[in-house]
Structure 1
């Protein structure tokens, strides 16, 4: 009974914070403070799983949240009459995880098919990568302005010093900036740097995302 009461109280608190956030102009400090409070409260209630693309999906979810909680910029605006904030976020998060899973399966199938063609003909055929990220609004949400400034300035030069072995140009600063809206797809980055998507994605998850998360926590975003 207490759990049910606790969940209901949390939902009401989040609903009030949404109303507060949306009562302030986009980009204002007051709206950003309310959005940060919502993120803090909602994060422990979000779906969690230990899959390779979970952090990417979570990042997309928070971007979607900032862009559509008060105004419909890249999707349907949040409607409190249809469900709680966490229900809305979890639905989006699971869809992104499903997209990543499907894309991974397609990529693996394409790779196997390509290898089969090579082994049979001795010539490498064109491999069409099916991964194509969701379109993103070019306007950076207020909550990500600090991330953009932090990664661009890189005052400690830590982000530039952490790079894929043998490829200093493929560093955390570059990848974090390129994955912010309007984000570059892994397919485009792979073609640009001449590295496999799996290498770039794995490096991003192991080296870049932990630093991004650490910054977000230090600023109270997470």
Structure 2
């Protein structure tokens, strides 16, 4: 495997950035790398987002990778995991740019509609602390994120406008973005690209390219339309 990986990495790096030849070689390399044992896993609901960011980083930085003892394969996995773990760690850090208006309507513990200002502790109270405010706001942020995630999930599952199923491989219409989103993002545990490709009788490279170039941009657009940034 070390020899195969070295050959594939060398092939990617011999082509200029942005060239079609480099992209094809890179897709072949990523297809192999994604199947390597030892790639770090996480139970976080947005794990695949961190993983996709990692593959994008690998695509940009692969030529800077330096193999170390005991093997190229092991050092490559360690190198990838080093970045991936930081991206997963980011998922657990509250978004400091996510600002909530105190006048924004929400629901209290009884389910009644009210404003955030009304359910926060009295700022004049001697017992109020910034920690309490932070905790309450963090709880509301998390509830809103979960609600948004649920709405996006329902959109993917129903695909009433047909956008996801319409984005498919011309020679294999069964390989559409709704199926891939369900298998890779929603089902738990997520399926492997290689397993889906085998089931649909297409190559890993073809499926991965369709997912990366067509499905992910479409899903980002859908998320933005729902207010996800």
Band of TM-score, shorter chain: 0.3 to 0.5
Tell me the TM-score normalized by structure 2: 0.45
The structure with more radius of gyration: 2
Tell me the TM-score normalized by structure 1: 0.46
Q: Which has the higher contact order (CA 8 A, sep 6+)?
A: 1
